Amino acid sequence: MESTRLRDRPTDLDPLRLPAHVAVIMDGNGRWAKGRGQPRIFGHRRGVDILKDLLRCCKDWGIGTLTAYAFSTENWGRPIEEVDFLMLLFERVLRRELREMMLEGVKISFVGDLQALPRSLQSEIEQAMTQTKDNTAVEFVVATNYGGRQEILQACRQLAAQAQRGELDPAQINDALFEKHLYTAGTQDPDLLIRTSGEMRLSNFLLWQMAYTELYVTDTLWPDFDRAEFHQALLAYQARERRFGRVETKK
Ligand code: IPE
Ligand code: IPE
Ligand code: MG
C-alpha cells in the first residue's frame, strides 16, 4: 500500500497545530464490499486493518487520542447475521491485538452501554482495558453499543437520582459536573471528526462532546481511508479557523 510509506509525519503539517483528539465515523464498509461483489462482512474485516493503521499513524504523527465509532445503538437493527459477525469480530480482534497494543503502548478504552454486549466480548473488553490502563503512547477509545442520546440520558438519570436522594442541588449542575457522568469523562472533546463515505450526518455520535468539533466528510469509503487520506483530512483541519463563537483572530 502506497500510504504505508508515510511513516513520518508529512512536513506540510504543522506539528504545533495537530488535533489532540480525532474521532472517526468509519462508514462505507458495506458499500466497499458490494462494489467488489463481496458480502458486507468482507468490508468490515478490511475496515479493521484500516483502523489499526490509523491508530498507528496517530501514534507516529503525535496525535494523542483516537475515538472510533464501531457499533451504534441503532446498529442492532441490522440483520442478525451481520450483528453476530461484528460482535465476534470485535472479540477476536481484541484477543489477537492485545499483545501488540501492549508493545506499542496503546491505552484502550470503550464507551457505550457495554452491559448489553455478549458476555464473552465484555470479558475481553475488561481484560484489554485493565491490561493497557497504564500505557501512554496513544489513547484509543472504541465506541461500541454507543448512542449519544442514550449517553446523555443515563447521565441525566444519575444526576436526578442524586438530587432525589438530597445529595445534589440541581443548581450545581454545570458543564463540568455533567461531563463527569458521560462515558467519556476525563477525555477532552474531539478537535476533528472524520466521516467517510460521504454521509453528512452525526448518526448519534458524541452529540454532547462535538459541540465545537471541526467536521470533515470525505467520499472515500472507510476501507480505502489510508494515511494519504488522513493527511488530507489533517491539512483541511489546519486550514480552518476555530472561533468558538468569538470573532476572527488577528493574524
Ligand atoms: C460502517 O460501515 C461499519 C459499521 C456501522 C459497523 P457500514 O456497515 O455502515 O457500511 P455501509 O454504510 O452500509 O456502506
Ligand atoms: C454510523 O454508521 C455507525 C458506525 C459507523 C458504527 P451507520 O452506517 O450506522 O449510520 P447511518 O445509518 O448511515 O446513519
Ligand atoms: Mg453505514
pLDDT of residue 5: 66
| Eight-state DSSP code of residue 32 | H
**What is the tens place of the pLDDT at every residue in 176-217?**
999 999 999 999 999 999 999 999 999 999 999 999 999 999
Quick check: is 153 in a domain?
A: no
Contact of 217 with 200, CB cutoff 8 Å: yes
Predicted local distance difference test score (pLDDT) of residue 250: 64
Point out the ligand 2 atom lying closest to the alpha carbon of residue 203: 14
Q: Can you give the CATH number for the domain in which 82 is found?
A: 3.40.1180.10
**Nearest-CA neighbor of 143 among 205, 98, 196?**
205
With H, G, I as helix, E, B as strand and everything else as coil, classify residue 126.
Answer: helix
Q: E strands, the chain, where? A: 21-25, 65-72, 106-111, 138-146, 192-195, 214-217
Q: Is residue 164 part of a domain?
A: no
pLDDT over 90 percentage in the chain = 96
Contact (CB, 8 A) for 205 and 23? yes
Residue 157, domain member (yes or no): no
The residues facing 140 across adjacent strands are 66, 108
Q: Report, in angstroms and rounded to the nearest whole number, the Rg of the chain calculated over CA atoms.
A: 19
In a domain, 156, yes or no: no
Over range 81-89, report the average pLDDT.
Answer: 98
Q: Is residue 178 part of a domain?
A: no
Does residue 174 lie within any of the structural domains? no
Quickly state the pLDDT bin for 56 (edges 50, 70, 90).
very high
Domain presence at residue 183: no
Q: Within a domain: residue 91?
A: yes
Q: Does residue 1 register a pLDDT over 70? A: no
Range of the domain at 108: 18-147+189-238
* Mean pLDDT of the region 138-155: 98
Q: Which of 87, 86, 50, 91 is nearest to 220 (CA)?
A: 50
Residue of 27, 73, 193, 202 best suited for mutating to test ligand 2, as the one with most atoms within 8 Å of CB: 27
Residue recorded with cell 476572527: 248
Region of 119 please: left (phi>0), alpha (psi -120 to 50) or beta. alpha
- Mutational pocket test of ligand 1: of 24, 25, 26, 29, the residue with most ligand atoms within 8 Å of the beta carbon: 29
pLDDT of residue 249 exceeding 90, the answer is no
Is residue 143 scored above 50 in pLDDT? yes
pTM of the model: 0.96
Q: How many Å lie between the centroid of ligand 2 and the Cα of residue 166? A: 40
Number of domains comprising the chain: 1
